Structure 1
């Protein structure tokens, strides 16, 4: 159970109920971090707008690279909620979620392309403390994905670090967006 309880639909005011309906329509359930952040409406609105803007702007990298890098951060941080949600997003994007089982062996696994390996190693280097990113990594990533792609990857990995650290600090755990190989949330 999370350290701060979610704001329930019964406790929600009219605007929050509307936002909850939007979330249910989009994800099949109200994401628990969203319902917890509802205790601070200003941050909830800010975070929601930010997430929508990032989703709209982050289109330079291939979807598989974006999603894998964020999934890797979630696994490195041990954020079960993030892993659950990221798996659901990959499933909805038509990506191969079976290979997520070998994410820890990405460097040698044939399930991952050279570009994916670069992005996953970068996610690892950005997630360690202190950060261990090298000039060689950024040069290789810029060559693979372009400058805009490198900036997008950096932003998404940093954002997933923020999400995962917030959820971990508040003990937000897997919500059941995925269960085994079956997604509990209806496909869009």
Structure 2
């Protein structure tokens, strides 16, 4: 259970009820970080708008590259909620989630393409403290994805670092998106 409980649908105003409905339709349940953030109306709205805009404008990178980099950050930071949700998003995008079991061996695994290896390595370097990104990494990424692609990848990795740290601090556990188990937040 998270350190701050999810706000039930009955406790939220019209905007948040509509947002809960949209989330349930899209994901099958209201994501718990979303329902926890509902305690602060302004941050809830800002987060919802931000996430929606980031999703809409992120069209440079292939979904598999972006999703794997984000998943790797969640895995490295140990955010069980993010790992669960990230695997579900990959499944929804039609990606092979079975290969996630081999992500620790991405550099040698035949299940990952060169582009995916570059993105996962970059996610590792950006998630290290201190950050260990090199000029050569950025040059390789730019050659593979272009400048806009590097910026999109960097933004998504940084955003997942924020999400994972936020969820870990609030103690938000996995919700059962990957397994399809009942979620802690009502599906009503």
Task: Report the TM range for the smaller structure's normalisation.
Answer: over 0.9
Q: Could you say which residue in structure 1 is the equivalent of 2:13?
A: 13
Structure 2 Cα separation of the partners of residues 92 and 19 of structure 1: 20
Is the contact between residue 88 and residue 183 of structure 1 (CA under 8 Å) also seen in structure 2?
A: no
Structure 2 Cα separation of the partners of residues 149 and 15 of structure 1: 34
Runs of 4+ in 1 over 3 A off after TM superposition: 182-185
Structure 2 Cα separation of the partners of residues 112 and 17 of structure 1: 40
Does residue 156 of the first structure (1) align with residue 156 of the second (2)? yes
Q: Could you say which residue in structure 2 is the equivalent of 1:64?
A: 64
Q: Could you say which residue in structure 1 is the equivalent of 2:186?
A: none
Unaligned runs of 5+ in 1: none
Structure 1 residue 26, shift from structure 2 partner: 1.1
With over 3 angstroms needed to count, the CA separation of the structure-2 counterparts of 1:142 and 1:183, relative to structure 1, is farther
Q: Could you say which residue in structure 2 is the equivalent of 1:92?
A: 92
- Segment drifting more, 8-17 vs 53-62: 8-17
- 1:35-87 per-residue CA deviation (whole Å, 9 max, x = no partner) reads 00001110000000000000011110011000000000000000000000000
TM-score, normalised to structure 2, is: 0.94
Unaligned runs of 5+ in 2: 184-188
With over 3 angstroms needed to count, the CA separation of the structure-2 counterparts of 1:82 and 1:63, relative to structure 1, is same
- 1:97-151 per-residue CA deviation (whole Å, 9 max, x = no partner) reads 0100000100111110111101100000000100000000000000000011000
Aligned length: 183
Structure 1 Cα separation of the partners of residues 18 and 145 of structure 2: 39
User: CA RMSD of the aligned region, Å?
Assistant: 1.3
